[in-house]
Amino acid sequence: MTIYSRLSGVGSYLPGNPVSNDDLVTRGIETSDEWITTRTGIRSRYLADAGQTSSQMAVEAARRALEMAGVEAAELDLIIVATSTPDYIFPSTACLVQGALGNKGATAFDVQAVCSGFVYALTTADKFIRSGSHKKALVIGAETFSRILDWQDRGTCVLFGDGAGAVVLEASEKPGILATALHADGSHVGILSVPGQVAGGQVTGDPFLRMEGQAVFKMAVRVLADVAEECCSNAGMSSSELDWLIPHQANIRIIEATGKKMGLPKEKVVVTVDRHGNTSAASVPLALDEAVRDGRIQRGQRVLLEGVGGGFTWGAVLFEF
Protein backbone atom coordinates (compact mmCIF):
# COMPACT_ATOMS: atom_id res chain seq x y z
CA MET A 1 0.00 0.00 0.00
CA THR A 2 1.30 3.47 -0.87
CA ILE A 3 1.49 5.85 2.06
CA TYR A 4 0.71 9.50 1.36
CA SER A 5 0.86 12.53 3.60
CA ARG A 6 -2.26 14.62 3.91
CA LEU A 7 -2.88 18.08 5.38
CA SER A 8 -5.34 17.74 8.25
CA GLY A 9 -5.02 21.19 9.82
CA VAL A 10 -3.71 24.69 9.13
CA GLY A 11 -3.12 27.66 11.41
CA SER A 12 -1.37 30.99 11.54
CA TYR A 13 -0.47 33.90 13.79
CA LEU A 14 0.26 37.58 13.12
CA PRO A 15 1.68 39.79 15.90
CA GLY A 16 0.04 43.03 17.08
CA ASN A 17 -1.72 45.45 14.76
CA PRO A 18 -1.08 46.23 11.07
CA VAL A 19 1.65 48.83 10.46
CA SER A 20 0.75 50.85 7.35
CA ASN A 21 3.14 52.45 4.88
CA ASP A 22 2.14 55.83 6.31
CA ASP A 23 3.01 54.55 9.81
CA LEU A 24 6.55 53.85 8.52
CA VAL A 25 6.76 57.45 7.27
CA THR A 26 5.62 58.63 10.72
CA ARG A 27 8.39 56.49 12.26
CA GLY A 28 10.93 58.49 10.24
CA ILE A 29 11.57 56.29 7.18
CA GLU A 30 12.11 58.39 4.05
CA THR A 31 9.50 56.70 1.87
CA SER A 32 5.87 57.05 0.77
CA ASP A 33 2.77 54.90 0.49
CA GLU A 34 2.79 55.62 -3.26
CA TRP A 35 6.40 54.36 -3.77
CA ILE A 36 5.88 51.15 -1.76
CA THR A 37 2.44 50.34 -3.19
CA THR A 38 3.29 50.83 -6.85
CA ARG A 39 6.57 48.88 -6.71
CA THR A 40 5.55 46.06 -4.36
CA GLY A 41 1.79 46.02 -3.71
CA ILE A 42 2.49 46.15 0.04
CA ARG A 43 0.11 48.36 2.06
CA SER A 44 0.82 47.11 5.58
CA ARG A 45 2.68 44.47 7.58
CA TYR A 46 2.76 43.14 11.17
CA LEU A 47 5.81 43.62 13.38
CA ALA A 48 6.60 41.60 16.51
CA ASP A 49 6.97 43.33 19.89
CA ALA A 50 10.49 43.66 21.26
CA GLY A 51 10.09 40.58 23.47
CA GLN A 52 8.25 38.41 20.97
CA THR A 53 10.19 35.59 19.27
CA SER A 54 9.80 33.29 16.27
CA SER A 55 9.18 30.28 18.54
CA GLN A 56 6.38 32.05 20.41
CA MET A 57 4.60 32.94 17.17
CA ALA A 58 5.24 29.40 15.87
CA VAL A 59 3.53 27.94 18.96
CA GLU A 60 0.43 30.12 18.43
CA ALA A 61 0.16 29.05 14.77
CA ALA A 62 0.79 25.41 15.74
CA ARG A 63 -1.97 25.37 18.37
CA ARG A 64 -4.48 26.59 15.76
CA ALA A 65 -3.37 23.96 13.21
CA LEU A 66 -3.49 21.17 15.83
CA GLU A 67 -6.97 22.25 16.87
CA MET A 68 -8.25 22.15 13.29
CA ALA A 69 -6.67 18.72 12.78
CA GLY A 70 -8.04 17.39 16.08
CA VAL A 71 -4.53 16.22 16.97
CA GLU A 72 -2.95 16.50 20.44
CA ALA A 73 0.63 17.79 20.62
CA ALA A 74 1.61 14.56 22.40
CA GLU A 75 0.61 12.54 19.31
CA LEU A 76 3.13 14.31 17.02
CA ASP A 77 6.19 12.29 16.02
CA LEU A 78 7.81 14.97 13.82
CA ILE A 79 8.21 18.75 14.26
CA ILE A 80 9.99 20.83 11.61
CA VAL A 81 10.33 24.60 11.79
CA ALA A 82 11.47 26.64 8.79
CA THR A 83 13.08 29.87 9.94
CA SER A 84 16.01 32.18 9.22
CA THR A 85 15.32 34.11 12.41
CA PRO A 86 15.59 31.47 15.16
CA ASP A 87 15.38 32.49 18.83
CA TYR A 88 18.78 30.90 19.53
CA ILE A 89 21.72 29.63 17.50
CA PHE A 90 20.85 26.42 19.34
CA PRO A 91 18.72 24.65 20.43
CA SER A 92 16.59 24.66 17.32
CA THR A 93 13.32 26.59 17.19
CA ALA A 94 11.61 23.22 16.64
CA CYS A 95 12.85 22.02 20.05
CA LEU A 96 11.63 25.26 21.68
CA VAL A 97 8.21 24.73 20.07
CA GLN A 98 8.22 21.09 21.18
CA GLY A 99 8.94 22.12 24.76
CA ALA A 100 6.22 24.80 24.75
CA LEU A 101 3.64 22.39 23.32
CA GLY A 102 4.59 19.70 25.84
CA ASN A 103 5.50 17.05 23.29
CA LYS A 104 8.21 14.59 24.29
CA GLY A 105 10.13 12.30 21.98
CA ALA A 106 9.17 13.53 18.50
CA THR A 107 11.93 14.10 15.94
CA ALA A 108 12.46 17.90 15.94
CA PHE A 109 14.72 20.12 13.85
CA ASP A 110 14.89 23.38 11.88
CA VAL A 111 15.20 23.89 8.14
CA GLN A 112 17.02 26.94 6.80
CA ALA A 113 16.13 27.83 3.21
CA VAL A 114 15.05 31.45 3.82
CA CYS A 115 11.85 32.31 1.90
CA SER A 116 11.69 28.76 0.43
CA GLY A 117 11.94 27.32 3.96
CA PHE A 118 8.32 26.22 4.33
CA VAL A 119 8.29 24.42 0.99
CA TYR A 120 11.58 22.72 1.92
CA ALA A 121 10.21 21.74 5.37
CA LEU A 122 6.92 20.42 3.98
CA THR A 123 8.76 18.35 1.37
CA THR A 124 11.03 16.93 4.08
CA ALA A 125 8.05 16.00 6.28
CA ASP A 126 6.32 14.40 3.27
CA LYS A 127 9.35 12.18 2.69
CA PHE A 128 9.49 11.13 6.38
CA ILE A 129 5.80 10.19 6.29
CA ARG A 130 5.96 8.40 2.93
CA SER A 131 8.89 6.32 4.18
CA GLY A 132 6.61 4.91 6.90
CA SER A 133 8.89 6.03 9.74
CA HIS A 134 6.62 8.88 10.96
CA LYS A 135 2.84 9.41 11.04
CA LYS A 136 1.93 12.85 12.38
CA ALA A 137 4.01 15.91 11.56
CA LEU A 138 3.81 19.56 12.51
CA VAL A 139 5.42 21.82 9.90
CA ILE A 140 5.85 25.52 10.67
CA GLY A 141 7.24 28.62 8.98
CA ALA A 142 7.98 31.37 11.53
CA GLU A 143 9.95 34.60 11.20
CA THR A 144 10.84 37.82 12.98
CA PHE A 145 12.53 39.46 9.98
CA SER A 146 12.06 42.88 11.60
CA ARG A 147 15.12 42.00 13.77
CA ILE A 148 17.47 41.50 10.81
CA LEU A 149 16.41 44.60 8.87
CA ASP A 150 18.51 47.73 8.63
CA TRP A 151 15.80 50.28 9.46
CA GLN A 152 18.02 52.96 7.87
CA ASP A 153 17.88 51.12 4.50
CA ARG A 154 14.56 52.15 2.93
CA GLY A 155 15.19 49.84 -0.06
CA THR A 156 14.69 46.75 2.16
CA CYS A 157 13.02 47.65 5.48
CA VAL A 158 9.66 48.51 3.90
CA LEU A 159 9.35 45.06 2.29
CA PHE A 160 9.18 42.63 5.22
CA GLY A 161 6.92 41.63 8.11
CA ASP A 162 6.72 39.10 10.96
CA GLY A 163 4.41 36.12 11.52
CA ALA A 164 4.00 32.34 11.54
CA GLY A 165 1.99 29.67 9.75
CA ALA A 166 1.67 25.94 10.41
CA VAL A 167 0.20 22.74 9.02
CA VAL A 168 -0.42 19.28 10.47
CA LEU A 169 0.47 16.50 8.05
CA GLU A 170 -0.76 12.93 8.65
CA ALA A 171 -0.11 9.57 7.04
CA SER A 172 -3.02 8.56 4.82
CA GLU A 173 -4.00 5.99 2.19
CA LYS A 174 -5.40 8.87 0.13
CA PRO A 175 -3.30 11.70 -1.33
CA GLY A 176 -2.34 14.21 -0.08
CA ILE A 177 0.85 15.63 -1.35
CA LEU A 178 1.08 14.64 -5.02
CA ALA A 179 4.50 16.00 -6.04
CA THR A 180 7.38 18.17 -4.85
CA ALA A 181 10.42 19.86 -6.41
CA LEU A 182 13.30 21.58 -4.60
CA HIS A 183 16.31 23.41 -6.01
CA ALA A 184 19.17 25.69 -5.01
CA ASP A 185 22.00 27.55 -6.74
CA GLY A 186 24.73 28.73 -4.40
CA SER A 187 26.35 30.93 -7.03
CA HIS A 188 23.85 33.72 -6.22
CA VAL A 189 24.80 34.20 -2.56
CA GLY A 190 25.64 37.86 -3.12
CA ILE A 191 22.23 39.10 -4.30
CA LEU A 192 20.39 38.31 -1.06
CA SER A 193 22.06 37.60 2.26
CA VAL A 194 22.61 38.49 5.90
CA PRO A 195 26.41 38.33 5.86
CA GLY A 196 27.06 38.73 9.61
CA GLN A 197 25.37 38.06 12.93
CA VAL A 198 24.70 39.22 16.45
CA ALA A 199 25.34 36.59 19.10
CA GLY A 200 25.59 37.19 22.83
CA GLY A 201 25.66 40.95 22.18
CA GLN A 202 28.68 40.67 19.84
CA VAL A 203 28.32 41.87 16.24
CA THR A 204 30.27 39.93 13.62
CA GLY A 205 30.32 41.41 10.11
CA ASP A 206 27.12 43.06 8.83
CA PRO A 207 24.14 41.51 10.67
CA PHE A 208 21.42 42.97 8.43
CA LEU A 209 19.62 41.80 5.29
CA ARG A 210 21.26 43.05 2.07
CA MET A 211 19.65 42.68 -1.31
CA GLU A 212 20.12 43.57 -4.95
CA GLY A 213 16.41 44.13 -5.61
CA GLN A 214 16.34 43.96 -9.39
CA ALA A 215 18.53 40.85 -9.63
CA VAL A 216 16.32 39.09 -7.06
CA PHE A 217 13.20 40.15 -8.95
CA LYS A 218 14.36 38.66 -12.27
CA MET A 219 15.60 35.43 -10.70
CA ALA A 220 12.37 34.97 -8.70
CA VAL A 221 10.06 35.32 -11.72
CA ARG A 222 12.12 32.87 -13.77
CA VAL A 223 12.45 30.10 -11.20
CA LEU A 224 8.88 30.34 -9.85
CA ALA A 225 7.30 29.74 -13.25
CA ASP A 226 9.78 26.93 -14.08
CA VAL A 227 9.38 25.05 -10.79
CA ALA A 228 5.59 25.29 -10.97
CA GLU A 229 5.62 23.55 -14.36
CA GLU A 230 8.15 20.98 -13.11
CA CYS A 231 6.10 20.12 -10.03
CA CYS A 232 2.84 19.78 -11.99
CA SER A 233 4.57 17.60 -14.55
CA ASN A 234 5.99 15.40 -11.71
CA ALA A 235 2.35 14.77 -10.77
CA GLY A 236 1.41 14.09 -14.40
CA MET A 237 -0.82 17.14 -14.67
CA SER A 238 -0.84 20.54 -16.29
CA SER A 239 -0.81 23.84 -14.39
CA SER A 240 -4.19 24.66 -15.99
CA GLU A 241 -5.68 21.90 -13.79
CA LEU A 242 -4.70 23.74 -10.59
CA ASP A 243 -7.45 25.15 -8.41
CA TRP A 244 -5.11 27.46 -6.47
CA LEU A 245 -1.60 28.85 -6.67
CA ILE A 246 -0.01 30.10 -3.44
CA PRO A 247 3.35 31.64 -4.35
CA HIS A 248 5.80 33.13 -1.88
CA GLN A 249 4.50 36.58 -1.00
CA ALA A 250 7.40 38.94 -1.76
CA ASN A 251 6.06 41.40 -4.27
CA ILE A 252 2.74 41.65 -6.16
CA ARG A 253 4.61 42.20 -9.43
CA ILE A 254 6.54 38.92 -8.98
CA ILE A 255 3.29 37.11 -8.11
CA GLU A 256 1.40 38.54 -11.09
CA ALA A 257 4.25 37.86 -13.51
CA THR A 258 4.42 34.23 -12.32
CA GLY A 259 0.65 33.73 -12.65
CA LYS A 260 0.74 35.26 -16.13
CA LYS A 261 3.68 33.08 -17.28
CA MET A 262 1.73 30.03 -16.08
CA GLY A 263 -1.45 31.19 -17.83
CA LEU A 264 -3.44 31.20 -14.58
CA PRO A 265 -6.29 33.66 -14.05
CA LYS A 266 -5.77 36.14 -11.17
CA GLU A 267 -8.72 34.65 -9.26
CA LYS A 268 -6.77 31.41 -8.73
CA VAL A 269 -3.77 33.11 -7.12
CA VAL A 270 -3.86 33.71 -3.35
CA VAL A 271 -2.41 37.10 -2.38
CA THR A 272 -1.60 38.33 1.13
CA VAL A 273 1.51 40.42 0.42
CA ASP A 274 -0.64 43.59 0.43
CA ARG A 275 -1.49 43.06 4.13
CA HIS A 276 1.40 40.91 5.43
CA GLY A 277 4.43 42.16 3.48
CA ASN A 278 7.11 39.51 2.91
CA THR A 279 7.22 37.20 5.95
CA SER A 280 9.83 34.89 4.39
CA ALA A 281 9.27 31.24 5.46
CA ALA A 282 5.93 32.18 7.06
CA SER A 283 4.42 33.72 3.93
CA VAL A 284 3.12 30.57 2.24
CA PRO A 285 1.50 28.92 5.30
CA LEU A 286 0.00 32.28 6.34
CA ALA A 287 -1.63 32.62 2.90
CA LEU A 288 -2.72 28.97 2.94
CA ASP A 289 -4.38 29.36 6.34
CA GLU A 290 -6.21 32.48 5.22
CA ALA A 291 -7.57 30.86 2.06
CA VAL A 292 -8.67 27.69 3.89
CA ARG A 293 -10.36 29.55 6.74
CA ASP A 294 -12.22 32.00 4.48
CA GLY A 295 -13.58 29.03 2.49
CA ARG A 296 -11.78 29.61 -0.81
CA ILE A 297 -9.77 26.36 -0.63
CA GLN A 298 -12.12 23.36 -0.38
CA ARG A 299 -11.40 19.67 0.33
CA GLY A 300 -10.48 17.82 -2.87
CA GLN A 301 -9.04 20.89 -4.62
CA ARG A 302 -5.50 20.98 -6.01
CA VAL A 303 -3.16 23.60 -4.59
CA LEU A 304 0.40 24.49 -5.60
CA LEU A 305 2.65 26.12 -3.00
CA GLU A 306 5.83 27.85 -4.14
CA GLY A 307 8.85 29.33 -2.41
CA VAL A 308 11.85 31.33 -3.56
CA GLY A 309 14.54 33.01 -1.50
CA GLY A 310 18.12 33.55 -0.47
CA GLY A 311 20.62 30.88 -1.32
CA PHE A 312 19.30 31.06 -3.97
CA THR A 313 16.66 28.42 -3.14
CA TRP A 314 13.34 27.62 -4.76
CA GLY A 315 10.76 24.86 -4.78
CA ALA A 316 7.13 23.80 -5.00
CA VAL A 317 4.68 21.39 -3.35
CA LEU A 318 1.51 20.22 -5.10
CA PHE A 319 -1.25 18.73 -2.96
CA GLU A 320 -4.87 17.75 -2.98
CA PHE A 321 -6.50 19.30 0.09
Q: Taking CB under 6 A as the rule, which mask of x and - marks residues 206-235 in contact with ligand ACO?
A: -----x-xx-xx--x---------------
- Is residue 115 annotated as a catalytic residue, yes or no? yes
What are the phi and psi torsion angles at 122 (to 5°)?
-65, -40
Helix (H, G, I), strand (E, B) or coil at 42: coil
Q: Does 250 bind ligand ACO (CB under 6 A)?
A: yes
Measure the CA–CA gap between 264 and 32, rounded to whole angstroms.
31
| Rounded least distance, CB 180 to ligand ACO, Å | 19
Measure the CA–CA gap between 122 and 140, rounded to whole angstroms.
8
Among 251, 258, 272, 313, binds ligand ACO (CB under 6 A): 251
Identify the helix (H) or strand (E) that includes residue 285: helix 283-293
- Measured at the CA of 288, the angle between CA 47 and CA 315, to 5 degrees, comes to 95
Which range touches ligand ACO (CB under 6 A), out of 36-44, 49-57, 97-105, 161-169? 36-44
Identify the helix (H) or strand (E) that includes residue 288: helix 283-293
| Rounded least distance, CB 24 to ligand ACO, Å | 8
Which is nearer to ligand ACO, 106 or 317 (by Cβ)?
317
Q: Does 82 bind ligand ACO (CB under 6 A)?
A: no
| Rounded least distance, CB 66 to ligand ACO, Å | 28
Q: Does 188 bind ligand ACO (CB under 6 A)?
A: no
Kindly state the number of chain residues that form the binding site for ligand ACO, as judged by CB under 6 A.
23
Measure the CA–CA gap between 288 and 303, rounded to whole angstroms.
9
Measure the CA–CA gap between 272 and 245, rounded to whole angstroms.
12
Among 5, 12, 40, 53, binds ligand ACO (CB under 6 A): 40
- Is residue 157 annotated as a catalytic residue, yes or no? no
CB atoms within 10 A of CB 182: 18
Which is nearer to ligand ACO, 40 or 258 (by Cβ)?
40
Q: Does 70 bind ligand ACO (CB under 6 A)?
A: no
CA 197 → CA 32, 65, 141, 207, distances in Å?
A: 30, 32, 21, 4
Residue 256's nearest CA partner among 277, 281, 283, 225 is 225
Reported in sequence order, the residue ranges of 67-117 that DSSP labels E, i.e. its strands, are 78-82, 107-111
Among 35, 70, 190, 238, binds ligand ACO (CB under 6 A): 35
Our measurement of the distance from residue 125's CA atom to the centroid of its chain's CA atoms, rounded to an integer in Å, reads 15
| Rounded least distance, CB 130 to ligand ACO, Å | 28
Measure the CA–CA gap between 49 and 51, rounded to whole angstroms.
5
Helix (H, G, I), strand (E, B) or coil at 26: helix
Among 18, 22, 25, 31, binds ligand ACO (CB under 6 A): 31
| Rounded least distance, CB 149 to ligand ACO, Å | 11
Q: Does 158 bind ligand ACO (CB under 6 A)?
A: yes
Candidate list 95, 103, 115, 276, residue with the active-site label: 115
| Rounded least distance, CB 220 to ligand ACO, Å | 5
Measure the CA–CA gap between 109 and 112, rounded to whole angstroms.
10
**Nearest residue relative to ligand ACO (C-beta):** 213
- Is residue 251 annotated as a catalytic residue, yes or no? no
Which positions lie near ligand ACO, rule CB under 6 A?
A: 31, 35-36, 39-40, 115, 154-155, 158-159, 192, 211, 213-214, 216-217, 220, 248, 250-251, 278, 308-309
